[in-house]
Structure 1
């Protein structure tokens, strides 16, 4: 959430930033809401002061047996009635301003490229050579189904479209990828492993910005809780409503969880295979930092995600997203796109974002700088380290053999019990 004080002081900067994101100007409307709220608060304070003064006057009048006592009592009673309705109006005005602020996207950093959609994203670097095949490479679902280890028809019987049943060696490959990523991030990159709840309340989703704007992409349970769309949600909210010691920063956390998304608005896109699922596994990276180190932490987090793909010897490129393609809560985002030879295209496998204090304001998560009495909002970052299902797709397509088998990447062999080749059961 953006700071209304900053908006009052920088209305043109807000509208210019919203224009870069393809959104309508909002400063005038927000300042008007804030002015109305401020005027009402001033009226409320005046009434409270008059009530207090009149109450004191009643005591003096009663002591002096003054006939003004009844008039003063009537005035106090009238003020109390006014305050009851006025306090409710204050809550409504606060809510109106908060609701208006809660749907505003974050302000992009100055070095974020301006553009309307993914066509304006900028390639930052490209790593790894594309693999040459002596045959026409297949897509992952063709390979998986022929092996007998990837079943979409039975998954549809169980749950409908956009679900997959993995079996045998491909199920083990998915598990191996997740464990490999966790070990890399915890043992070499300094992240602390966390096993968070998969069900959260609406306040938690509000804190990271999924609510209220992205309700349609969430699965809600009958008791009002939600299945997490990403482990970013519970991990980031672990510091909500807390004041952290700056000496404890940065806090770096990682988790391997199932994620659940309704994929609202993606009808007709990636309907075959595992690329866009309602349920998928992902290793998430979350960092909580102070204001001075969040940009540096963003570069570090992105390099940690890149290292996963390097160890798997997968070709990928790192893209800086433009203002029109960037997520709601992000100040700046790098997408890692892995090469899929079956599709003959780069596809996103990780997204690493720095959010500044945008989420922290919603969560009221703060830290106290050393030697200062006042507190500041923490800065939050999140990234995929990486999406396990898409990593499986990339391994299957890049390590496929002409006979339909799949070579196991060297980094995963220990996690596969020494298995070096995934083959159809005989």
Structure 2
């Protein structure tokens, strides 16, 4: 959420920032709505002052036993009450319109984000690891999984429809092992606090992280005004909603391994085979809550933590900086990690690491009190929020299967995962 005061102070800068996202100028229309709000507030104050003055005169008239004058003044007070109600309603209407309009505007990109209309303008930052060489044609994960009789899309479709999978046996255990390994590395080596959050949330947390209202169609709604979480970013970031922290508490770093649920409403016809794009999947999410001065450094740290997982799994990947036309609604800047899939002969996203500035914090009313009151004043400031996949478990399973596949259709278990697999070194057909 943007601050209308900042927009008023620099409307041209606000419009220029949004133009980088391909959006038309909106500052002056927002200011016009805010002017109606301020005008209604000013009118209400004038009416209140007039009512107070008239009420005082009523008392004076009654004290003087001038009942006719008192009745005349009381009629004026009653008329003012109606006018005050009209002004209050005008103020509420302007506030509601401003809030709705601001809620639909994405975050402004940081100056170093590359400009561009879509993913074609993303900029490669670096690559890591080496592509494996095979003396056979590598196959895709679903071919491997189905031949192993441990990845079943047909039965999943009978149970739940398309974009679901049933994993069995050692592939099911491998998926669990990957998630546990990721959670362990982030909590034991990267300083994140493990959280087991609710999978159902109210409207407030969904609005706070900007899934609502714009992306309502991408979410799974359930009864009692609850939503299945599309990512653990929602409950983790909202752990600090409607609170004022001390600067000494920051940074806060949270990690969670949860199922995630997405309609994939905009993905019709894309990745219809396999596990790449599903309605239900597991993911390790990383969230940081920081001061404004440290959020950029925290973004780099977050990326390093996510990369550490792929390095340990010995997967080849690249990191790209998303351009203005490809990054998420709430993001100021995003790094995507794209893992190499030998079966597809393509890079595919496995993690997004974003810094959101105070955009989500304003929607959540999440603040902190700075230690340096001489520089920042005595008032509370909005925190900065960051989030990243650390990483998507299902996509990591895909990458492990395709990268570590063998010519006979078996899959070698990466050494780092073998303790989680009870020492199993290879997954083969029974």
- Report the Cα distance in structure 1 between the residues aligned to 2:196 and 2:218, rounded to whole angstroms: 23
- Report the Cα distance in structure 2 between the residues aligned to 1:88 and 1:180, rounded to whole angstroms: 55
User: 3-state DSSP class of the match of 2:396?
Assistant: helix
The within-5 A match list for 1:11-410 is 11-66=11-66, 67-372=68-373, 373-410=378-415
Measured after TM superposition, the shift of residue 89 of structure 1 is 2.4
- Report the Cα distance in structure 1 between the residues aligned to 2:253 and 2:237, rounded to whole angstroms: 10
User: 3-state DSSP class of the match of 2:55?
Assistant: helix
Measured after TM superposition, the shift of residue 318 of structure 1 is 0.5
- Report the Cα distance in structure 1 between the residues aligned to 2:215 and 2:240, rounded to whole angstroms: 22
Q: Deviations for 1:284-311, whole angstroms, at most 9, x for unmatched residues? A: 0000000100000000000000000000
- Report the Cα distance in structure 2 between the residues aligned to 1:283 and 1:107, rounded to whole angstroms: 27
Gaps (5+ residues) in structure 2?
Answer: none
- Report the Cα distance in structure 1 between the residues aligned to 2:316 and 2:408, rounded to whole angstroms: 23
- Report the Cα distance in structure 1 between the residues aligned to 2:141 and 2:162, rounded to whole angstroms: 17
Q: Residue 420 of structure 1 corresponds to which residue in structure 2?
A: 425
> Number of residue pairs matched?
425
- Report the Cα distance in structure 1 between the residues aligned to 2:90 and 2:80, rounded to whole angstroms: 15
- Report the Cα distance in structure 2 between the residues aligned to 1:283 and 1:53, rounded to whole angstroms: 62
User: 3-state DSSP class of the match of 1:370?
Assistant: coil
Comparing 87-96 with 139-148, greater Cα deviation is found at 87-96
Residues 1:6 and 2:21 aligned together: no
- Report the Cα distance in structure 2 between the residues aligned to 1:331 and 1:48, rounded to whole angstroms: 43
Gaps (5+ residues) in structure 1?
Answer: none
- Report the Cα distance in structure 1 between the residues aligned to 2:294 and 2:280, rounded to whole angstroms: 34
- Report the Cα distance in structure 2 between the residues aligned to 1:341 and 1:45, rounded to whole angstroms: 69
Measured after TM superposition, the shift of residue 82 of structure 1 is 2.1
- Report the Cα distance in structure 2 between the residues aligned to 1:11 and 1:375, rounded to whole angstroms: 25
Measured after TM superposition, the shift of residue 400 of structure 1 is 0.3
Measured after TM superposition, the shift of residue 54 of structure 1 is 1.1
User: 3-state DSSP class of the match of 1:55?
Assistant: helix
Measured after TM superposition, the shift of residue 190 of structure 1 is 0.1
Comparing 188-197 with 29-38, greater Cα deviation is found at 29-38
Q: Deviations for 1:299-327, whole angstroms, at most 9, x for unmatched residues? A: 00000000000000000001000000000
User: 3-state DSSP class of the match of 1:383?
Assistant: strand
RMSD: 0.8
User: 3-state DSSP class of the match of 2:221?
Assistant: coil
User: 3-state DSSP class of the match of 2:256?
Assistant: strand
Measured after TM superposition, the shift of residue 371 of structure 1 is 4.5
| Cα contact 2:208–2:363 (8 A) shared by 1 | yes
- Report the Cα distance in structure 2 between the residues aligned to 1:206 and 1:53, rounded to whole angstroms: 43
User: 3-state DSSP class of the match of 1:184?
Assistant: helix
- Report the Cα distance in structure 2 between the residues aligned to 1:55 and 1:204, rounded to whole angstroms: 45
